Amino acid sequence: MNKNTPDTYEGVRERLDAIVQEVHAEGISLDEALKLYEEAVKLGLLACDLSEEEALAQAEALEAADNNLNPETSTEREETAVQPQEGANITDSTNPTEPKNTAEGDIQN
């Protein structure tokens, strides 16, 4: 992409709308239509990246706001995280039929 590439989701959407108008114009050559298609694909990928960055920024802002409102909550979450028992055999929880070993070595179904 070039220096005129939009850097916001809204800018990408505006450029994609313009590309749609250009493609619908009469007399557009196949070569020009292909160039616009390639640009649109790149812009679509950029839009995905920009929306992901925006979502992450919003999540971080919400987490920071939560920590500001409840400062003890963030440390409590770290302190009360579930830790496996020493000697426990951790199995894949996606397979409920797989036997699980307890800390004592007994197999349970």
Please give the C-alpha separations between residue 28 and each of 1, 2, 41, in angstroms, as whole numbers: 21, 22, 18
Q: Answer yes or no: are the C-beta atoms of 39 and 49 closer than 8 Å.
A: no
pLDDT in tens, the chain (109 residues): 566 788 888 999 999 999 999 999 999 999 999 999 999 999 999 999 888 888 888 899 888 888 877 766 555 555 555 666 666 555 555 555 555 555 555 555 5
| Confidence (pLDDT) at 14 | 95
Give the global pTM.
0.52
In the chain the first and final C-alpha atoms are separated, in Å, by 57
> Taking the domains of the chain in order of start, what are their residue ranges?
9-84
- DSSP lists the bridge partners of residue 108 as 100
**Strand ranges (E), the chain:** 100-101, 107-108
| Confidence (pLDDT) at 88 | 55
Token pair 């292909």 in the structure block, residue: 34
